[in-house]
Each structure stands twice: as C-alpha cells, then as structure tokens.
Amino acid sequence: MIIVNSLMAALHHIFAFTLAAELVYEFVAYRKGLTVAEARRIQRVDLVYGISAGLLIAVGLLRVYFFEKGPNYYFANHVFWTKMALFAIVALLSVYPTIRYIKWNPMLAENKMPEVPEKEYKNIRVLLWLEMIGLLLILFAAPMMARGIGFN
C-alpha cells in the first residue's frame, strides 16, 4: 500500500506542478500585441491548465477517499476546506479567460489575431493576477494541512 500511496502522491504533485507551470506561462505570455502563434500557444497552455486541474481533482479525491489518511482526517481539518475553497475560486476565476481564448478561434482560423478590447485585456490581466495569488495561497495551505495544522 505504501507504493500505491507514493504513486498517488507523485501523480498529485505532477498535476499540481503542471497546473502551476501552465498558469505561470499564461500569466507571463498574455500581453498586448500577441501574434497568432502566441495566441494559439496560450490556448493550448490554457487547455493543459484545465486538464491538469481536472486530473488534480480526480487524484486528490482518490487520495482523500482511498489513500493516505482517509476522509475523516481531511474533512475535520479547516485548512483542507480553505485549500478546497481557494481551488474552487481559482477555477472560477479561470473561466472568463478560457471563454475569451476560445472566442479567438474564428479569427485564428483565418490566421488573424483578434482585437482584444482594452477593458477585456485589463479584466483578463486582473483575473490572471488573482489566479496567481490564489495558487500561492494554496501552496501555503497544502503543507500546513499535510502536517495536521487546522484541526479544531
């Protein structure tokens, strides 16, 4: 069982690091004056970001229910719930940018970069900043939760 627990932990970390890397790339790459190639790359990175988030949730739920310390440990820990709330907030914050990136498809299909209005650009920049802050808070919560901080 120790090998399976270790494998599940490794998968959880791989998906978490992949998610973090994709968000950092998107944060750095999203700017005014993107080329068609850069816009397509952001779309692909955003897709991998979403897939990583889904796999992270799946593996995380498996760990909670079938591996590690079990649901009673996690559900009694308020830092666990803080981490889950932060993850949900980051996920919700990522919806608008993803929808906007998808709406680029018709123009990108014509090899043209769509015009991004100033307000939309600023909104996406703010959302990416908030996602980064949320991710940092999750990174603080995770080791605290794993070490048993957060029990009443």
Q: Are 105 and 37 in contact (CB under 8 A)?
A: no
pTM for the whole thing? 0.90
The reply to whether 52 falls in a domain is: yes
Q: What is the pLDDT of residue 8?
A: 92
Residue 151 lies in a domain: no
Residue 31 domain-assigned (yes or no): yes
Question: How do residues 13-60 score in pLDDT, each as one tens digit?
Answer: 999 999 999 999 999 999 999 999 999 999 999 999 999 999 999 999
Is residue 152's pLDDT more than 70? no
Residue given tokens 């949320």 in the structure block: 134
Residue 18 lies in a domain: yes
- Return d(Cα 38, Cα 15) in angstroms, integer: 24
Q: Is the dihedral of CA 73, 89, 126, 31 positive or negative?
A: positive
Q: How far apart are CA 117 and CA 119, in angstroms?
A: 6
Distances (CA, A) of 77 to 130, 132, 146: 25, 24, 10
d(CA 20, CA 15): 9
Residue 115 is predicted with a pLDDT of 87
Q: Express each pLDDT in 51-109 by its tens digit.
A: 999 999 999 999 999 987 888 888 999 999 999 999 999 999 999 999 999 999 999 99
Number of domains in the chain: 1
Between 103 and 114, the more confident residue is 103
The pLDDT score that the predictor gives to residue 106 is 95
Residue 4 pLDDT > 70: yes
Q: Is residue 131 part of a domain?
A: yes
Question: How would residue 148 be classed by pLDDT, with cut points 50, 70 and 90?
Answer: confident
Whether 152 is in a domain gets the answer no
- Tell me if 38 is assigned to some domain: yes
Could you tell me the residue range of the domain that residue 62 belongs to?
Answer: 2-146
Regarding predicted confidence, which is higher, 152 or 72?
72
